[in-house]
Amino acid sequence: MSLLHQIALTKINGVGPVIARHLLNHFPDAEAIFAASRKELLTIPGIGNRLAAAILEARIFHEAENELHFIEKHRIQALFWRESQYPKRLAQCPDAPLLLYYKGNADLNTPRTISIVGTRNATAYGKSICSEFIRDLQPYGVSIISGLAYGIDSHAHRNALTCGLPTVGVLGHGLDRIYPSANREMAARMLDQGGLLTEFSSGTVPDKQNFPMRNRIIAGLADVTIVVEAAIRGGALITAEIANTYNRDVCAFPGNLHQEFSSGCNYLIKTNRAHLITHAKDLAYLMNWEIDEKNKPPQQLSLQISLGKTEQQVYDAIHAAGQIAIDELARQLQWTQSKLAITLLEMEIKGAIAVMPGKVYRIS
């Protein structure tokens, strides 16, 4: 396919991702769309005189040529929908951008990808959750997506860099600028340990209306969207709602009932729009993730979790079995199930063990 024609397709006034896909269902590629006559275009349902005239307008090719020179000069990748390099998760979304501009070295199709979003006015509570959560995600080898904004977004990117996790910032403007400018240095680091991604061509400024469009990309790139701290209104809740419409999982950290920037998270949980999580192990359980052994730091349980005498008995029995059902564990220990259930719950809260479907237990 001609990249020039692909770029030109995104420049047509009145043609967004949905109409562009509609056109591509009638023509083999972008070049064929521009080679079509006005009469051919008007035979396509939904394409009227105005859109046909916009498609045939020569000016858009001048804009497309300028953009092509820009991406070639700055070694930016152009990822076109339908092509293998395009992010597979995002390609499944009905309103996915036709063309993405990407600069960086992170794989956009890693097995485990999460989006982290939240308020621009992050509190000490939100910052603490963000840093602890990402640190504890390190053994799972995840990639982290966010929006490079102030607040939770910035903390997510910064902590991912610290923990050696790839992190990609989705921008609401072109790759010829960084907004906010205070994140310029961090964005430069992300190019070496992640990347920057946008659907907007160079020269696009960070206008307010661009950010809801950016949010759908943040939601669409990930297996699950995590809301760390958010008010009842704002971009984080918009991203969560979009993720729900894509049938992607959403998780939220609960917060103080009287804090403005916890109200959004609490609302998502209360209305069953998000799973309640309190640490990385909750997410791993929900997503059925095992720790990637090459990322797993050497550790001993006794250094991190203090177990009582009876808890140690239970722990040893589960460890020896690998995983074991509660009734078999009760039989081995010669305990009643009611006594065992209390001990198991306490150990689960401590993070020493994890429960799987069917009340089967394993070491956490």
Q: What does the alpha-carbon distance between residue 273 and residue 227 come to, in Å, rounded to a whole number?
A: 11
CA 14 to chain centre: 28
Q: What is the pLDDT of residue 303?
A: 39
* Residue positions counted in the chain: 364
Q: What is the pLDDT of residue 302?
A: 41
* Long-range contacts from 19-26, C-beta under 8 angstroms, 24+ separation: 19/46, 19/51, 20/98, 21/81, 21/98, 22/46, 23/47, 24/82
Write out the DSSP string of 267-332.
Answer: HHHHTTSSEE-SSHHHHHHHHTPPP-GGGPPP--HHHH----HHHHHHHHHHHHHSEEEHHHHHHH
Q: What does the alpha-carbon distance between residue 312 and residue 352 come to, in Å, rounded to a whole number?
A: 10
Domains of the chain with bracketed CATH: 1-73 (1.10.150.20), 113-287 (3.40.50.450), 299-363 (1.10.10.10)
pTM reported for the whole predicted model: 0.79
Q: What does the alpha-carbon distance between residue 4 and residue 30 come to, in Å, rounded to a whole number?
A: 9
**What confidence tens digit (pLDDT) does each residue in 308-333 have?**
889 999 999 999 888 899 999 999 99
Q: What is the pLDDT of residue 294?
A: 59
CA 265 to chain centre: 17
Q: What does the alpha-carbon distance between residue 134 and residue 156 come to, in Å, rounded to a whole number?
A: 7
Q: Could you say which DSSP state residue 15 is in?
A: -
Q: What does the alpha-carbon distance between residue 1 and residue 118 come to, in Å, rounded to a whole number?
A: 39
Q: Where are the beta strands (DSSP E) in 30-124?
A: 77-80, 99-104, 113-117
The three-state DSSP-derived secondary structure of 123-143 is CHHHHHHHHHHHHHHHHHCCE
In the chain, what's the furthest Cα-to-Cα distance?
83
**What confidence tens digit (pLDDT) does each residue in 231-261 have?**
998 899 999 999 999 999 999 999 888 788 8
Cα dihedral across residues 240, 244, 246, 248: positive or negative: positive
Q: What is the pLDDT of residue 299?
A: 45
Q: What does the alpha-carbon distance between residue 213 and residue 168 come to, in Å, rounded to a whole number?
A: 16
Cα dihedral across residues 142, 143, 146, 152: positive or negative: positive
Given a cut of 50, the residues of the chain with pLDDT beneath it are 298-303
**What confidence tens digit (pLDDT) does each residue in 130-161 have?**
999 999 999 999 999 999 999 999 999 999 99
